[in-house]
Amino acid sequence: MSNRLEGKNIIVTAAGQGIGKATAIAFHNEGANVTATDLNNKTLAELNKEYPKIKVQTLDSTDNNAISEFMKSIDQVDVLFNAVGFVHHGTILECEEKDWDFSFDVNVKSMYQMCKAILPLMVKQNGGSIINVSSCASSLKGFPNRFVYGTTKGAVIGLTKSIAADFVKQNIRCNSIAPGTVFSPSWQDRVNQSPDPVQAKKDFIARQPMGRLGTAEEIA
């Protein structure tokens, strides 16, 4: 622990597991005041039990009213880390309108709403940092059976660049990270739901330049 982020107030979404959880812990270990949000009360409680100084708050980032209520208790934000995400499996022919809408609500609208809610505070403070989790499956590269997921993550990159351009003079940075496949409980669930989980795992690993899956801690 270096305490280089001591005194900084940081909000992490989707902090119950995976990249969000690892990032919340990493910020905490650097001395930051971390508020970890997620839909899953159980995983948040587990995080808080292990790290009592991390404040946890149930929050649906797709619900604008819930975000507005959440923001009533926030008076300063130095960093927003948006990690909410959902992976739909399939081509355009397997993507129904409801799949499209749900994917955009979770992967894009949630980030739009969180950024819009927090930016006024950062403008008032004359500074801040927003980090949005995108993916290498985005405008960077197309992957089989990731049609709407890649589309939404491409939108995240566009959203990020636009915010960065609009608020650079207010000393606000907005960046995205675009990981490859990262081992997480949600990834394991997708593998387990495939017709052949063993082969699915091998296929995932075969696509990785490193020859293995990434870890949430590496991203954090």
What CATH number has the domain bearing residue 176? 3.40.50.720
- Going by C-alpha positions, the residue among 104, 129, 50, 72 that lies closest to residue 15 is 50
- Within a domain: 124: yes
Same-domain pairing of 129 and 20: yes
CA angle 188, 190, 193 (to 5 degrees): 110
Provide the residue range defining the domain that includes 23. Answer: 9-180
Q: How far apart are CA 206 and CA 139, in angstroms?
A: 22
CA distance 161 to 84: 18
114 and 87 in a single domain? The answer is yes
Tell me, yes or no, if 112 is annotated catalytic: no
Residues 118 and 216 reside in one and the same domain: no
154 and 173: one domain? yes
One-character DSSP codes across 114-170? HHHHHHHHHHHHT-EEEEEE--SSSSS---TTBHHHHHHHHHHHHHHHHHHHHHGGG
Q: What is the pLDDT of residue 151?
A: 97
Residue 212 and residue 91: Cα distance in Å, rounded?
25
pLDDT of residue 1: 61
Q: Is there a single domain that holds both residue 124 and residue 208?
A: no
Predicted local confidence at residue 205, as pLDDT: 78
Q: How many domains does the chain have?
A: 2
pLDDT by 10s per residue, the chain, length 220: 678 999 999 999 999 999 999 999 999 999 999 999 999 999 999 999 999 999 999 999 999 999 999 999 999 999 999 999 999 989 999 999 999 999 999 999 999 999 999 999 999 999 999 999 999 889 888 888 899 999 999 999 999 999 999 999 999 999 999 987 777 777 777 777 777 778 877 877 777 777 887 788 888 7
Same domain, 209 and 148: no
Q: What b-and-e string marks burial along 50-64, b requiring 16 or more CB atoms within 10 Å of the CB? A: ebeebbbeebbbbeb
Of the residues 27, 70, 149, 167, only one is catalytic, namely 149
- pLDDT score recorded for residue 183: 74
- pLDDT for position 186: 72
Give the number of other Cβ atoms within 10 Å of residue 181's Cβ: 18
Q: Are residues 209 and 105 in the same domain?
A: no
Please report whether residue 3 resides in a domain: no
